[in-house]
A and B are shown apart, each in its own frame.
Chain A
């Protein structure tokens, strides 16, 4: 966190010197609920510190993929690994950001951000100051004492982001976190996400149905469709708003849209 300026360039090169991030891997994995597998034969590796975005039509198993990585859903076949060892369940190392309101409604925003720290046994005073500093980073200082239903949807998602990052997880799994927000708030949130991820070195898997969002955020984009991972493509100039007109980016965007359309 203190070496933020160094790691900016590092994460842009998708190979940070600080090995903070988790290496996540699917090896011939079958994913889904026991009675209804949705993804088959998934082979995918996410490098430490990389941002992988996942796009696909709704119902294609994006969320399933993420919940499996989070350890909430055991794989039906094959293995899922974090740093080379198979996943056995959820862990504070891999934070999950949900689309809907996953903040506990009876806790203030500060209370929600403090929760992961409390679970890890961080002493109260430190918990408070770390939560405050994270809320400040996502611009919610003045709403720290509010209950989630008293603030806007965008502010709730910012609080969720702060909660996910508060305990410095090594991987952040995001399930369409900005899906319910209007376009303007959404692009603001994307910028904020890029900014707060800076220097954390965390591996990010970001699920979205918005191709532009996927191309803006991801070092690579994974496409899901018809029960499998159909392609994984490297993104030219990720997290660069000016790259929108980049011909390589435009071509990739067309490719992805047409393969999603088919």
Chain B
């Protein structure tokens, strides 16, 4: 019973551990085969740098600065993206008015808006939030728009025949019904937000993980650069997991199959003695096994 989740945890730990091992090996042996690892900091260098940073104040200031920026930008984007997406999907006037404008602005990489941000906003801080927000806005907008358009019409008709008006339909049908799609957009959005908040900090920030990483690079403190990268990675992972978990919690009503990411539907393996004559009895325990696996898979969903 407990074998499968444990083995999955083991696998999850094994792959980063192997990557770290390889990194340590290549850098400590100063391998120079076209790819040059001789200048590369080793894992232990980075770990030491990490330990130093964590014990200092700057690291935590950078961390909270970056988190404040991304959360502000992302939450703004979530609210604006969902609102605009619903508006464009539900109102032809809004679609005609906003559609072309949004489509022209959408392909512009948010980070290319740095000059705009500098011109528009009195402080760098607001500029960075603006860029982060713009980055997450479009994925949220687009997936909200799609999700709202794909809603089953009967739901809305049912509420209309109960005497529900536009607001009621919005509250009781459109928003809850579009939620699974909206969370798809939010997941993409939080990822894009990180990319943009870090880039924006590198270009124009004061404090922040991106700013610190770039500073380290300019003074050739390579272990420091890696500390920054690892920090970004971990923060990104945590925030997107949070979005994912929230999404799952809010869309618990979705009929879920016990889907294993990347896994094939598991057929109980034939018992490894096919030549044995009492074949019939071998198949006896199978339904039970299957039942157990289903139960486990349902629980495994919570591993992210």
A contact set with B: CB distance below 8 Å:
67, 70-72, 89-96, 98, 100-107, 115-116, 119-120, 147, 149, 167, 173
**Cβ contact within 8 Å between A92 and B163:** yes
Known: A98-B154, A115-B172, A149-B255. A106 touches B163 (CB 8 A): no
Contact A119 B253 (CB under 8 A): no
Docked Cα-Cα span, A103 to B155, in Å, equals: 7
Q: Is the CB of A102 within 8 A of B155?
A: yes
One of B158, B164, B251, B254 near A102 (C-beta < 8 A): B158
The reply to whether B163 and A105 contact each other, CB–CB distance below 8 Å, is no
A115 touches B159 (CB 8 A): yes
CA distance A147 to B256 in the complex (A): 12
Expressed in whole angstroms, the Cα–Cα distance for A95 and B163 within the complex equals 9
* Inter-subunit contact A90/B155 (CB<8 Å): no
With A104-B173, A106-B176, A106-B177: A95-B161 Cβ-Cβ less than 8 Å? yes
Question: Is the CB–CB distance between A105 and B161 below 8 Å?
Answer: no
Residues in chain B within 8 A of chain A (CB atoms): 154-155, 157-164, 168, 172-173, 176-177, 179, 251, 253-255
For the residues of A in contact with B, the DSSP-based class is: loop
- What CA separation (Å) do A96 and B163 show in the bound complex? 11
Contact of B162 among A95, A107, A149 (CB under 8 A): A95
Complex Cα spacing A103 to B176, Å:
13
Instruction: For the A-B complex with A94-B161, A104-B158, A167-B162 known, give 10 more contacts whose Cβ atoms are closer than 8 Å.
Output: A70-B161, A72-B157, A91-B163, A98-B158, A102-B157, A103-B158, A106-B177, A147-B253, A149-B253, A149-B255
Tell me the complex Cα distance, A67–B160, Å: 11
Bound-state Cα–Cα, A147 to B255, Å: 9
CB of B136 to closest CB in A, whole Å? 25
B residues near A103, Cβ cutoff 8 Å: 158
15 A-B residue pairings within 8 Å (CB atoms): A71-B160, A90-B157, A91-B161, A92-B163, A96-B161, A98-B154, A98-B158, A102-B158, A104-B177, A106-B253, A115-B172, A120-B163, A147-B253, A149-B255, A167-B162
